[in-house]
Amino acid sequence: MKAAFLTGLRKIEIRDAPEPALRRPADVLLEVETVGVCGSDMHYYKAGRIGCQIVEYPWIVGHECAGRVMEVGPEVTRVKVGDRVAVDPLVHCGRCDQCRLGQIHTCRHQGFLGCPGQLQGSMCERLVMPAASCFPIPETMSTTQATLCEPFSIALWAAKLADPRPGQKLGILGSGPIGLTVLAACKLAAECTVYQTDLIPGRMDMARRIGADWVGKADEIDVVEQIGIAEPLGLDVVIECVGEQETIDQCLELVKPCGKVVIVGIPEADRLSFEMNHMRRKEVRIQNVRRQLGQVERAIELVAAGEVDLDVLVTHEFDFDQAQEAYDLVAEYRDGVVKGMIHLDGGS
C-alpha cells in the first residue's frame, strides 16, 4: 500500500509500505478514505517533536481519519465489513489503573495514531485498529464530517471540563480548528457569551459565523483591555487554544476571581509560566485537557442531527499525492486555511 512518510523536517514522501494485517481477534482492517491535517501534526512536521515525543524518520503522521471496514477479526461485533466509520486514534491497554478507572485517555500504555514511538499514523491507504476505536457513521454523513468528529470530540471534552453555565461569560483564545470547535461545543452546552480572539481575519470571520459574540484581532488591539471594558468583573471561564505564553498570560488577566482557565493548546515550548500574583490572589483553577474521553459517539450524533456544521471549517481539500502541499499550507497558515482535508480515495 501507499503511505505518506515524514522523511525529515518539512518533508513528506509517498512511499510503499507493508500491507497491514489483523493481529488480534478484536482488530479491524480499514480502508482509509479521508485524513485531516491537525495543528498537532504540524509540531512533528515543523519541529520533529512534541515535548519528549521525537520523530524517528521515516514516520507516518496523521490521526484524524475515517474510512470503510474491509475485514474484521473473529471477536468483532460492533462493526461489520462495508461499514463506514469514524476513528478514535487512541488505543488503550484496558488493564492499567487509568483504564480500570475509565480514564482511558490517560492510559499508561496507550498508543495514539501518528505519535512517535507509539503507532504509525493514518496517512496510509489501509490501517488496522481495534474495533473499540471504530465508530459506525450514518449513511448521510460524509467521511469528511466523520474525520472532523475527532477534533470535535476534543472540543466536546474541553467544553465538558470548562462546564459553561447559562449566562456565563467565556473567553476562547485562538480560533484554529480546535478554538472554533470549542466555540461550537460551548454554545451547544449553554447559552453563554463568548469573547474570541485570533490573528487571522478568515478565522475571526468563521468565529463570528459559528456564534462568537465578540471577536478581537489579538495583534491589533489590547485584548485584556478591550474585553475588560466590556466585562469589568472578568470572565468566568477562559479557554486557551493556542499554546503560547502570551495567551496563558491573557487567560490569567481575563479570568475573574475563582474562575477557571482551561488549557487545550499544545505549546511548542517545554515550559510555560503562570504569573503567580493572579494565580494566588484570584484562586484560579487550572484545568488541562488531554485529547478527549468518550465523546466520539456524541460528536457523531450532533453532526448527524445537524446541531453543528463542521463542514465550514474545511477550507482546502487535497488528493493523497498532494500531502506535502497540504502540510505546507497549514504550516504557513497560507490562503486563509482553517482545516485541510486529504482524500485518499479521490472523492470527498
Taking the least distance from each CB to Zn ion, the nearer of 5 and 44 is 44
Taking the least distance from each CB to Zn ion, the nearer of 92 and 256 is 92
Residue whose grid cell is 496507550: 110
Say which residues have a Cβ less than 8 Å from residue 249's Cβ, sequence separation at least 6: 275
Q: Please select the residue that binds Zn ion; options are 72, 85, 99, 342, rule is CB under 5 A.
A: 99
C-alpha cell at 266: 499544545
Taking the least distance from each CB to Zn ion, the nearer of 5 and 152 is 152
Residue 43 is classified by DSSP as: I
Closest C-alpha to 60, from 331, 347, 323:
323
Residue whose grid cell is 456564534: 211
Taking the least distance from each CB to Zn ion, the nearer of 95 and 165 is 95
**Stretch of 1-9, 44-52, 104-112, 235-243 contacting Zn ion, by CB under 5 A:** 104-112
Does 289 interact with Zn ion (rule: CB under 5 A)? Answer: no
Does 100 interact with Zn ion (rule: CB under 5 A)? Answer: no
For the CB of residue 99, give the shortest distance to Zn ion in the complex, in Å.
Answer: 3
Q: Please select the residue that binds Zn ion; options are 14, 17, 26, 96, rule is CB under 5 A.
A: 96
Q: Which DSSP helix (H) or strand (E) runs through 326?
A: helix 323-331
Q: Please select the residue that binds Zn ion; options are 107, 141, 241, 293, rule is CB under 5 A.
A: 107
Strands (E), the chain: 2-8, 11-16, 27-37, 49-50, 53-54, 59-60, 64-72, 84-87, 90-91, 111-112, 126-130, 134-136, 169-173, 193-198, 214-217, 235-240, 255-263, 285-288, 314-319, 339-343
Binding to Zn ion in span 30-49, by CB under 5 A: 38, 40
**Stretch of 95-103, 112-120, 183-191, 303-311 contacting Zn ion, by CB under 5 A:** 95-103
Taking the least distance from each CB to Zn ion, the nearer of 260 and 291 is 291
Task: Name the residues that contact Zn ion, by CB under 5 A.
Answer: 38, 40, 92-93, 96, 99, 107
